[in-house]
Amino acid sequence: MQLMQIRAYWRQVRLLLVILTSYLLGGCAPVILVSTEFPRPLVEPLPIRMGVLLDEELLTYEYEERIPQQATYIIQIGNANASMMNQLFQPMFAAVEPVNELPLTEIDSSRIDGVLNPELDRYEFDVPIGQSDEFVEVWMQYLLRLYEPNGELITEWPVSGYGKAELMRTADRTNAIGRATVLAMREVGAVIATRFAEQPEVEYWLQER
Amino acid sequence: MWPYYSKKCLSTIRTMAPRTYLLALISLGVLCGCSSTSRIEPYKQTDAVLGEDERIVILPRRHHASHEAEESFVDCVSDGLARGDEGLGVHISTAFEDRLYPWFEPSTAPLSIDDFSELMKNPNIHEQVRLSKVRFIVWLDGSTDRIASGGAISCAASPYGAGCMGLAWWEDDARYDATVWDVLNLSSAGTIYADYNGRSAMPALVIPIPLVVRPQALACRGLTEQLKQFLTTPDGYEPGPELSAN
């Protein structure tokens, strides 16, 4: 009889624990604000006056994903996008100007040779579920579009980056996602800074200037 | 060999009295479980040593995602080299990567000394390296991986108490290469290969007792000592394998 009572009591405790865990996991959505200072690339500037069009979507980019058995992660990348693009393009060209729309006005067209419009196309991340995994991985793909001042598309270049960060502690997941995202963005920046002029359409466009 | 040995050990001790069982489990853990082996192979090609006002920088090889050196390992070696009265001048890795961005990112970092020599032809890069006072770049490659594990521990709880029973074991292998480049002479100064293997065990009789060997920490210590010697000893640095087991 006593054993039956203990079993019934244990079942109630188990149910309570399950409800409490579900409530905590469902209610906690870690918000990760990716924020860092990106370095200026050490590259020779191209003799081009470039306009840069940063869309609202890029500047407020937010990624949300629910990971089973963990939580819903919200990753805010908008600020980091703005910081990276500003640092990246300035040293790459002889002159850089922000622009608000395409096609450019006649006055702007006389000063600007082309317009770059980056877009964060895809963001994926992987956090370990088991105890044996020790790394958080992030994969990102940007689309870098180059336009003529009249709005004609010259090329669309997909650039991807990968970042991996070690989990120092089990509770370190949010920090590690932020660190891996920054590494992936740096990788994207490195590819753009070193290989932009080598893209066949860009190369042809540069020769025509 | 090891799982068979483990099963045999367990079947023998199951027939013993509880006190003997406890002693047997602990002894088994100590004798059969915890062990480590190490192997260090240094090879120095030049007599170059670190000058008084010169620095080194430790950088992880990250062009292959599957087995890049862990951040914690890079920090451990960097801190170990800088620590103490005879600590060396160590440039912070991230600051060096920032200073030379984007030329030391995974997709752009030089993979050979020839690539690096080519990179140094760029006057801006050359100037930044000169300003950093870095004389040697040490590339760390490798990782620590779990190569085997076995055994089992069962835990149970009741209103009258809780406890665990069994034996679990695991084996980790830490393999790292340190490749040293001489920035001044634009040449390879040599390499150090470190392989540390550690077998840990956790016997449990009511309470699990972890008997852990950390090969990554041992590899960090071993590699740091070798690097210190490598970078400060012009002659008399004996290349050759060092083997030990305990």
* Closest Cβ opposite residue A187 in set B68, B103, B105: B105
What three-state secondary structure class fits B138?
strand
Residue to mutate among B61, B101, B131, B143, with most A CBs inside 10 A, is: B101
**Is A191 an 8 Å CB contact of chain B?**
yes
Give the pLDDT confidence of B180-224 residue by residue, as tens digits: 999 999 999 999 999 999 999 999 988 989 999 999 999 999 999
pLDDT recorded at residue B195: 95
- pLDDT surpasses 90 at A69: no
Q: Which of B132-136, B156-160, B208-212, B237-241 has the lowest mean pLDDT?
A: B237-241
Sign of CA dihedral B122, B123, B127, B128: negative
pLDDT band per the 50, 70, 90 thresholds, residue B119: very high
Give the pLDDT confidence of B220-241 residue by residue, as tens digits: 999 999 999 999 988 645 554 4
Put residue A92 in one of left, alpha, beta given phi > 0 → left and psi -120 to 50 → alpha: alpha
- pLDDT surpasses 70 at B23: no
Residue B108: closest CA among chain A residues belongs to which residue?
Answer: A190
Distance from the Cα of B6 to chain A's closest Cα (Å) equals: 23
Within 151-170 of A, beta carbons closer than 8 Å to B belong to 162, 164-166, 168
* Closest Cβ opposite residue A6 in set B71, B107, B159: B159
What three-state secondary structure class fits A57?
helix
pLDDT recorded at residue B9: 44
Give the pLDDT confidence of A130-168 residue by residue, as tens digits: 666 678 999 999 999 999 999 999 999 999 999 999 887
Residues of chain B with pLDDT > 90, as a percent, come to: 59
Chain B interface with A: residues with Cβ < 8 Å: 62, 65, 68, 70-72, 98-103, 105-108, 124-125, 128, 146, 158-159
* Closest Cβ opposite residue A41 in set B68, B71, B102: B102
pLDDT recorded at residue A166: 86
Q: Taking the model in full, what pTM does it have?
A: 0.81
pLDDT recorded at residue B138: 97
| Among the listed residues B106, B125, B105, B128, the one whose alpha carbon sits nearest the alpha carbon of residue B117 | B125
Q: What DSSP line would sit under A152-198, residue for residue?
A: -EEEEEEEEEEEEEE-SSGGGHHHHHHHHHHHHHHHHHHHHHHHGGG
Q: What DSSP line would sit under B173-219, residue for residue?
A: EEEEEEEEEETTTTEEEEEEEEEEEEEEEEEEEEEE--B---HHHHH
- pLDDT surpasses 50 at B27: yes
Give the pLDDT confidence of A22-56 residue by residue, as tens digits: 445 445 678 999 988 999 999 999 999 999 999 99
Tell me how far apart the alpha carbons of residues B200 and B170 are, in angstroms, rounded to a whole number: 5
Token readout for A60 is: 């407020």
Mean pLDDT on A77-83 = 96
| Count of C-beta atoms within a 10 Å radius of residue B193 | 19
Under an 8 A CB cutoff, do A190 and B72 touch?
no
The DSSP H or E segment spanning A200 is: helix A200-208
CA distances from A198 to A14, A48, A81, B119 (A): 62, 15, 23, 17
Distance from the Cα of B109 to chain A's closest Cα (Å) equals: 10
Tell me how far apart the alpha carbons of residues B46 and A190 are, in angstroms, rounded to a whole number: 33
Cα B214 off chain centre by: 9
pLDDT recorded at residue B26: 59
Under an 8 A CB cutoff, do A162 and B106 touch?
yes
pLDDT: which is higher, B11 or A100: A100
